[in-house]
Structures are given as C-alpha cells and as structure tokens.
Amino acid sequence: MAYDGAGISAPSKTEWTPSSWRTKPIKQDVTYDSASALTAALTKLENLPPIVTPTEIIKLKKSLRDAALGRAFLLQGGDCAELFSYCSDDPIDSKIKLLLQMSLVLIWGANKPVVRIARMAGQYAKPRSSPMETIDGVQMPSFRGDILNGFDIADRTPNPERLVSAYFHSATTLNYTRAQLSSGVADLHNPMDWGLGHVRDKSLQSKYQRIVASISDSLRFMRTVGADTAGQLQTVDLYTSHEGLVLEYEQCLTRRLRHPANYDSAITSADRKGWYNTSAHFLWIGDRTRQIDGAHVEYFRGLENPIGIKVGPSMKNEELVQLLDIVNPRKEVGKITLITRYGEDKVESMLGPHIEAVKASGHVVVWQCDPMHGNTRSTPTGIKTRHFSSIFSELSSALKIHQQHGSFLGGMHLELTGDAVTECVGGSEGLNEEDLSLNYTTYCDPRLNEKQALELAFLVAGHYRG
C-alpha cells in the first residue's frame, strides 16, 4: 500500500531549544516532592562534562548510514532495565563479550560489517503502563528505573539525587568499557570461549561448531598473512544507547558543541555548532512517548545524534511519515532507526505497509527489528516471559517481508544479558516454564540469556547463508 501524503500538517516551525519540550504535553512525567532538590540536581548535571563526544556520535551516524543503505548490520542489545548495581566488572564484561561474539557470527552470516550498540551505560529509565501497582494488597508507585526511584518498596518515591547518580553510573560503566576495549578484551587475536556444550541437539551443535571454526580460521588466516597492519583486529567500536525518557536529565546533558572534523554536511560559518545529546551516542523514543505533538518528539527533533523510534502496532502509516518529517526534515539517510516491535502475529500485516509508506515519503531509514516487545506473555502463574520461537519468528518474518518489498532488515534490537538467567523460554538449552524460577532476576522485561542470544545470532546468520 502506497502512502498518498494526504492529511499531513507541516512540521512545527517553532524555535527548538533543549527546553522547548516543556511547552508540550508530556507522557510518563515525574513529580518530585522537593523543587529545590530537583533544581540542585539539574544544576549539578548541567555542569558535568559530556559522557560521549560529537566525534563519536557522528562516527556512529555514518555507520548507521551504511546500515540504512544495506551495507552494514546494526546489532543493539542489553538489559530492559539496567540497574545501578550492574555497574560492576562481571556484568559489563559478560555483556561486552556476548555482543562481540554475536557480532562476529553476524559478520560471518551477513557478510557485512556489524555496528554494535549496547543498551548500557544509561538505560536506567522505564516507561510503565501504570504509575501505581499493588504488592501484597498494598498500592504503591511502580518501579520506574533506578534513575527515578528504587525497586525496594521503601524507595518508591522519585528522588532527584538519582538523576546525578545515573550520570555517575553511566560514566563509570562507559569508562570501564572503554578501558577494557583499549586493553584488548575485544582483541580478535585471542582465542574465545564459545561455550556451546549446552546445545542438546547434536546436529545443531555441530552446525554451530562449524560456524565458530570458520570464524576462527578466518581470524587465524588474517593474522598469519599480516592483514592487521592497522591494528584493526585489536579492538572494536561499541556505542551506548538508552531510551530518552527522562527529559530533565537529557536536557542537562544536551550541549551546543562544535561539529567535529568528521561532520561532512555543508556547514556554513553560521552553524559550525550543533546540539548534541552527550549522555549516549544513540537514544530512542519509546512506543509510549512518540506522540506527534508530545514533549519527547519535540525534544528529539533538535538533536544531531542518530535516534531511534519504536514502532508498535498502533502506529498509522501517515503518522509514521509525519514523525519522520518532524525529526528528520532534511531526510538525512540513516539518521533515524525505526525499531519495529509488532509481535509475531502482527508483523505480517503491519510491516509491509510501513515499508511502503516510508519508501513513498523519500526517507531512508535503518529498519531494525525488536522481536522482544511485541512477544511478551504471562505464564498461567503470572510470570512475564517470552518464547524463543516467537522472537525468532518475528525476526524471520521481518527478514522475509523486507526482501519481498525490495527493502532490507538493517538490524536487530534485543533485550539480553551475558548472565545465565532463566527469563525467556525455549532455545537449545530447552528452558521451559517450570525452569523460569531458577534464575529469574530481571527488574522489568524478560531477557535472552547468553546462550539464547548467541543462538539467535546463529539463526539470523544462517538465514543469510541460506
């Protein structure tokens, strides 16, 4: 179905500032008890240095341009709700390792470079379907992520000091990640432990082992022939991302900075600077806060960063195009990543029309599939889970539908952890609903564990290799 452009109003021409979102209606907003404590926290944040730089942000934007044009694949993953307590070496190390291994498998499969973005070092805010919840018969505010309140029931009142704490946990997580990467944690000359022993199905296990052997052979070959003169095999790029939900925080980290040397748009002397969100390289607008006239869209439209928009089943074709016109009026290729999350039963009817509408609008986006958020289910005993088969089913449908429409899937967006949790059912380990209680530790949505996430990468790679 082609999009005919009817009924679209022109994008807002009003002046954008980092605080212009305050004039718009806002969803998921926060009320603090103490205005003075909030002001003190925001003043502190405004004076702290950027966590990431324009040079890095523009480098990522260029890589995403490649993903939009089909020349690269975007792998994005991490926790649903990152806790401050995950700011510790083991969980960070295991997530870096997992994303690195998945990316190698995807490079092998898709035969393209993989752009890696972690949902980490700032993924502390959660939109909730209800501001209140009932625990043991008592009504209390819902947990909204460590940046706002605590999971502990005594800690549910939003506390502005958490905004400052979020900054320091984010900066510390990224500092450790950068230090590990520059110290060789992602050095592809080192042998890697792929841990495939859990795969019960023998033919599947030998298939995965063949892939790993092929990757290891290629790396060994490159080392032998001295193909690493530029040291490119010694480390990799890993970018950070989070949902840009708490606009007070994001505003304070939004800085007017000089465009970097790698910024190649035709810049006149009058606009050598731009507004960069320096809290992460990439931010996205959630499915609950993407209203055309709302505060979040207003805030995002002024940023230089590449941004994502979650696209759920309630998104209308014309609304999608209208959104793109607002956040990307110059139609920069790859500036926007559309993160589709319909659910395995809705992807067939929704994705094709969205692809056609965007195509007709002239926007060129990164199409990224989030096969997690449309596939959350409750077990009969009320535990939130996701089936590995539903997750893979939405991904395979997305791959197929893009192909049918002369488009291509530019990436995948996953909730995962490097730890051995039992939150999603299925996969080669054969986790079932009775196993969920073994190690169910998420504070929000169920995540793929290390084995399930790696397996998904093998399956997607297999799709490309046929």
Q: Which residues bind ligand PEP (CB under 6 A)?
A: 80, 127, 286-288, 310, 312, 341, 373, 445
Q: How far is the CB of 36 from ligand PEP (least distance, A)?
A: 31
Question: Is 402 marked as a binding-site residue?
Answer: no
Q: How far apart are the first and last CA of the chain?
A: 29
156 is in an annotated binding site: no
The verdict on whether residue 415 carries a ligand-binding annotation is yes
Q: Is 258 annotated as a binding residue?
A: no
Counting Cα atoms < 13 Å in the Cβ hemisphere of 88 gives: 8
Question: Is 352 exposed, middle or buried (CB count within 10 Å of its CB: 0-12, 13-18, 19+)?
Answer: middle
Q: Which is nearer to Mn ion, 129 or 224 (CB)?
A: 129
Is 373 annotated as a binding-site member? yes
Kindly tell me which of 248 and 287 has the beta carbon lying closer to ligand PEP.
287
Residue 66 interacting with Mn ion (CB under 5 A) = no
The answer to whether the beta carbons of residues 247 and 129 sit under 8 Å apart is: no
Q: Do 262 and 41 meet the contact criterion of CB atoms below 8 Å apart?
A: no
Say which entry of Mn ion, ligand PEP, none residue 286 contacts (CB below 5 to 8 A, set by partner kind).
ligand PEP
Q: How many CB atoms lie within 10 A of CB 339?
A: 25
If phi over 0 gives left and psi between -120 and 50 gives alpha, with beta otherwise, what is residue 351?
Answer: alpha
CB of 42 to ligand PEP, least distance (A): 24
Closest CA to 150 of 118, 126, 134, 174: 126
Backbone angles phi, psi at 243, to 5 degrees: -75, 130
By CB under 5 A, tell whether 80 contacts Mn ion: yes
User: b/e per residue, 433-458, with b = 16+ CB within 10 A?
Assistant: eeebeeeeebbbbbbbbbbbbbbbbb
Q: Which residue is nearest to ligand PEP (CB)?
A: 286
For residues 108 and 342, which CB has a smaller minimum distance to ligand PEP in the complex? 342
Q: Smallest gap, in angstroms, from Cβ of residue 114 to Mn ion?
A: 22
> Whole-angstrom Cα distance, residue 430 to residue 428?
5
Helix or strand run (H / E) with residue 240: strand 239-243
Candidate segments 223-231, 346-354, 357-365, 442-450, binder of Mn ion by CB under 5 A: 442-450
445 lies in the site for Mn ion, by CB under 5 A: yes
Return the one option of ligand PEP, Mn ion, none that residue 384 interacts with (CB less than 5 to 8 A, by type). none
Closer of 173 and 428 to ligand PEP (Cβ): 173
- State the binding site for phosphoenolpyruvate: 119, 310, 341
Question: What is the binding site for Mn ion (CB under 5 A)?
Answer: 80, 445
- State the binding site for Mn(2+): 80, 373, 415, 445
